[in-house]
Amino acid sequence: MKIHRIDRYRVRLPLRIPFETSYGRLTEKAFDILLVTDELGNQGIGELVPFEQPDYIEETIATARIIIENHLIPLIKDADIHHPKEVSLLFNEVKGNQMAKSSLETAIWDLYAKRNGTSLKTYFNETRTKIPVGVSVGIQTDLAKLIDQINEYVVQGYQRIKLKIRPGYDLKPIDAIRNKFPDILLMVDANSAYTIKDISYLKQLDRYDLAMIEQPFAANDFLDHAQLQKEMQTDICLDENIRTLKDCELAFSLGSCRSINLKIPRVGGITEAMKIVDFCKERDLLVWLGGMFESGVGRALNLQFASQKVFKFPGDISASDRYYYEDILTDPIEIQKGKISVPNGFGIGVSLSQETLLKYGLYDTLFIK
Ligand code: OSB
Ligand code: MG
């Protein structure tokens, strides 16, 4: 397989509901769609997912574009690729920058599956056709509005609610949700907003029967998380910390968490994600699939990957209408009875709406043979 050209759309899609986390507020999501074409004219699609601000992790969409154009494309433009697993090896000399790598690596997996006339999920183990899904709810200081919003998601069938929290917005909203929905599968995500000084405060969360607390401490901290996990009953889940399989090994051996939020782009692509899944399975570490407010392309990829039976905990993979007024797919992703169907076509299984892409995006060509 030879790469003959790479094109992209740089897109900004307005969000239906602004999304607020412990570190900021998002009203539009910027992302790039990369189209990788082989010597036979097959085309793989990948999404570049980082945010515009380096406030979730250090990568931004602008830094990722530079890495892609100046460092990653030169590594694949003359290569003869027999299997997409070779791409992560070719990219090895570029340190970090996982989301930049993932955008091309996942496009090449999609290309490979399309070339072979098969769905992407055929490369994964023990797959299902429908996936249980959850929804991540942004910070909403008006608690009546928060409860209304969650109620709407529960009515739509979402099987798990994840609430974003930060100091000053934690016990009260959690208490309000638990009072109204005593039995829902509920978890919280702090996006690194607390520190080791908050351990005794955070222990109060143990009384709310939370499925887990995601990333309470800094994105590169393993020791303080291990201390917290020792003192708390509630499972700790790591998100920002996990960039590689090595990070999972470290977290497991230190006891920093009992659960991993796996995002394919945050670990550099499908090949590393598969290794992490194998590791978690062997160690009985709960692994579930997270999200990055992806467009339909990234969520179609997430659905293919989350089709594996090991992802029994509902992922952050919501329907198109939870995020956007218009998605960039010809057929938006829909939820039915708390589940989303894995798209059926070749590769990631979806086709692009060129009209929507051009309405919200700019097209250019990065490389032509
Ligand atoms: O921490 O998981 C996170 C969204 C943006 C940035 C970080 C996170 C999130 C989510 C939403 O929680 C997941 C989604 O529905 O895509
Ligand atoms: Mg998170």
**Interior CA angle at 18 toward 13 and 22, to 5°?**
120
Residue 183 C-alpha to ligand 2 middle, in angstroms? 22
Q: Return the residue matching tokens 């791409």.
A: 87
Q: Do 141 and 196 sit in the same domain of this protein?
A: yes
Q: Is residue 360 part of a domain?
A: yes
Output the pTM of the full model: 0.97
Q: Do 30 and 141 sit in the same domain of this protein?
A: no
Q: Do 163 and 243 sit in the same domain of this protein?
A: yes
Q: Do 82 and 139 sit in the same domain of this protein?
A: no
Ligand 1: which residue has its CA nearest to atom 1? Answer: 191
Residue 311 C-alpha to ligand 1 middle, in angstroms? 17
**Residue of 101, 121, 164, 203 marked catalytic:** 164
**pLDDT > 90 in the chain, percent:** 98
Judge whether 122 and 114 are in contact, CB under 8 Å: no
Q: Do 110 and 142 sit in the same domain of this protein?
A: no
Q: Is the pLDDT of residue 67 over 90?
A: yes
Which ligand sits closest to the CA of 47?
1
57: DSSP letter = S
Q: Do 248 and 106 sit in the same domain of this protein?
A: no
Burial class (CB in 10 A: 0-12, 13-18, 19+), 366: middle
Indicate the pLDDT class of residue 74, thresholds 50, 70 and 90: very high
Indicate the pLDDT class of residue 285, thresholds 50, 70 and 90: very high
Confidence at residue 199, expressed as pLDDT on a 0 to 100 scale:
98
**Residue of 263, 275, 281, 369 marked catalytic:** 263
Q: CA separation (Å) from 64 to 48, 61, 95, 103, 108? A: 8, 5, 12, 9, 17
Average pLDDT over residues 98-105: 99
The 10 Å CB-count burial string (b at 16+, else e) for 121-148 is: bebbeebbeebbbbbbbbbbeeeeebbe
Lowest mean pLDDT among 11-25, 58-72, 233-247, 319-333: 11-25
Taking only the tens place, the pLDDT of each residue in 295-320 is 999 999 999 999 999 999 999 999 99
Question: Is 20 a pocket residue for ligand 1 (Cβ < 6 Å)?
Answer: no
Question: Is 291 a pocket residue for ligand 1 (Cβ < 6 Å)?
Answer: yes
Lowest mean pLDDT among 15-24, 53-62, 153-162: 15-24
Taking only the tens place, the pLDDT of each residue in 124-140 is 999 999 999 999 999 99
Q: Is the pLDDT of residue 23 over 90?
A: no
- The encoded tokens of residue 225 equal 């998380």
Q: CA separation (Å) from 108 to 9, 149, 161? A: 17, 38, 33
Q: Do 143 and 291 sit in the same domain of this protein?
A: yes
Ligand 1: which residue has its CA nearest to atom 4? Answer: 292
Residue 4 C-alpha to ligand 1 middle, in angstroms? 34
The alpha carbon dihedral of 349, 354, 360, 366 has a sign of positive
Q: Is residue 347 part of a domain?
A: no
Q: Give the CATH number, domain containing residue 101.
A: 3.30.390.10
Indicate the pLDDT class of residue 24, thresholds 50, 70 and 90: confident
Question: Is 298 a pocket residue for ligand 1 (Cβ < 6 Å)?
Answer: no
Q: Do 22 and 161 sit in the same domain of this protein?
A: no
Annotated active-site residue 164? The verdict is: yes
Question: Is 159 a pocket residue for ligand 1 (Cβ < 6 Å)?
Answer: no
Ligand 1: which residue has its CA nearest to atom 5? Answer: 292
Taking only the tens place, the pLDDT of each residue in 251-271 is 999 999 999 999 999 999 999
Q: Is residue 346 part of a domain?
A: no
User: Taking the CB of residue 156, how many other CB atoms lie within 10 A of it?
Assistant: 16
Annotated active-site residue 263? The verdict is: yes
Q: Give the CATH number, domain containing residue 327.
A: 3.20.20.120
Q: Do 100 and 213 sit in the same domain of this protein?
A: no
Q: Is the pLDDT of residue 22 over 90?
A: no
Give me the domain span that covers residue 302.
Answer: 121-341
Best of 135, 136, 215, 241 to mutate for ligand 1, by most ligand atoms within 8 A of CB? Answer: 136
- The encoded tokens of residue 322 equal 């939870």
Q: Is residue 170 part of a domain?
A: yes
Measured between alpha carbons, how far is 227 from 203 in angstroms, rounded to an integer? 12
Q: Do 146 and 65 sit in the same domain of this protein?
A: no
Taking only the tens place, the pLDDT of each residue in 341-368 is 999 999 999 999 999 999 999 999 999 9
Residue 369 C-alpha to ligand 1 middle, in angstroms? 37
Q: Do 98 and 165 sit in the same domain of this protein?
A: no
Taking only the tens place, the pLDDT of each residue in 157-202 is 999 999 999 999 999 999 999 999 999 999 999 999 999 999 999 9
- The encoded tokens of residue 50 equal 């980082």
Q: Do 58 and 203 sit in the same domain of this protein?
A: no
Domain total of the chain:
2
Question: Is 315 a pocket residue for ligand 1 (Cβ < 6 Å)?
Answer: no
Question: Is 136 a pocket residue for ligand 1 (Cβ < 6 Å)?
Answer: yes
**pLDDT > 70 in the chain, percent:** 100
